[in-house]
Structure 1
Amino acid sequence: MARNVQTTLNFIPADLPVCCMTGTSDFYTYASDVRPVTIHDARGHEDQLTLERNGFEYITYPSAHIPITDPARIKSVLYAEVGELLRTALSPPPTFVKVASHTIRSAASDLNSEYTGTPGPARTAHLDQTPSGARNYLYEKLPEHDAERLSRSRWAIINVWRPLKTIRRDPLAVCDGSTLGPRDLVPISMDYSKNARAKALQKQAVDGGEKKGLKTTVGWEIAMATYNPGQRWYYLSGMGVEEALMMRIYDSSLVGGWDEGRVPVAVHASFVDPEHKDDEVRESIEFRCLVFWEDSPASFTVP
Structure 2
Amino acid sequence: MATETTTTAALCSQETDIISTTLTFWKNLTSPPAPLDFTQPGTEKIFDDLNKLNETVPIMIHDIRGCESNFSLEKNGFQYVDHDIPGLEKCKTDDEIREVLIPATEELVKKITGAYRTLVFTHRIRNLASDTSKRADNRAPAHSVHTDFTSAGALQHLSTVIKDPDTLTSLTNPNIRVLAINVWRPLKRIQKDPLAICDWRSFNPSCIIPNRMIFPGGFWNELGKVKYEAGQKWYTLKGQMPSEPVVFKQFDSRVPEGGMTVPHSAFVDPEWVDKEARESVEIKMFAFVEE
Both proteins in one fold, TM over 0.5: yes
* Root-mean-square deviation over aligned CA pairs: 2.6
Q: 2:170 aligns with which of 149, 154, 157?
A: 149
Q: CA deviation at 1:17?
A: 6.7
Q: CA deviation at 1:136?
A: 1.3
- C-alpha distance 181-108 of structure 1, shift in aligned 2 (>3 A): closer
Q: CA deviation at 1:130?
A: 0.9
Q: 1:20 aligns with which of 3, 23, 35?
A: 35
Structure 1 equivalent of residue 272 of structure 2: 276
Aligned residues with identical type, % of pairs: 32
- Checking the alignment, whether the CA contact within 8 Å between 2:130 and 2:141 is kept in structure 1 is no
Structure 2 equivalent of residue 131 of structure 1: 151
Code of the aligned partner of 2:24:
N
| 1:7-46 equivalence runs, <5 A | 7-15=21-29, 18-21=33-36, 26=48, 29-46=51-68
Question: What secondary structure sits across from 1:4 in the alignment?
Answer: strand
Code of the aligned partner of 2:35:
C
- Checking the alignment, whether the CA contact within 8 Å between 1:164 and 1:285 is kept in structure 2 is yes
Counterparts of 1:275 and 1:132, CA distance in 2: 39
Counterparts of 1:6 and 1:13, CA distance in 2: 21
Code of the aligned partner of 2:107:
E
Q: CA deviation at 1:30?
A: 4.0
| 1:217-232 equivalence runs, <5 A | 218-232=219-233
**TM-score, normalising length from structure 2?**
0.83
- C-alpha distance 172-142 of structure 1, shift in aligned 2 (>3 A): same
**TM-score, normalising length from structure 1?**
0.80
Q: CA deviation at 1:62?
A: 0.5
Structure 2 equivalent of residue 5 of structure 1: 19
Code of the aligned partner of 1:220:
N
Map Cα deviations across residues 148-185 of structure 1 (whole Å, 9 max, x no partner): 21111211101100001100110000011111125211
Q: 1:289 aligns with which of 263, 285, 288?
A: 285
Question: What secondary structure sits across from 2:66 in the alignment?
Answer: coil
- Checking the alignment, whether the CA contact within 8 Å between 1:65 and 1:78 is kept in structure 2 is no
Counterparts of 2:142 and 2:35, CA distance in 1: 18
Q: 1:81 aligns with which of 104, 110, 122?
A: 104
Select between 264-273 and 122-131 the one with higher mean Cα deviation: 264-273
**Contiguous gaps of at least 5 residues in structure 2:** 1-14, 39-43
| 1:44-123 equivalence runs, <5 A | 44-67=66-89, 68-90=91-113, 93-107=114-128, 116-123=136-143
Counterparts of 1:285 and 1:27, CA distance in 2: 28
Question: What secondary structure sits across from 2:225 in the alignment?
Answer: strand
Counterparts of 2:131 and 2:283, CA distance in 1: 13
Q: CA deviation at 1:115?
A: 5.9
Counterparts of 1:17 and 1:134, CA distance in 2: 18
Name the count of aligned residue pairs. Answer: 264
- C-alpha distance 288-115 of structure 1, shift in aligned 2 (>3 A): farther
Counterparts of 1:27 and 1:62, CA distance in 2: 42
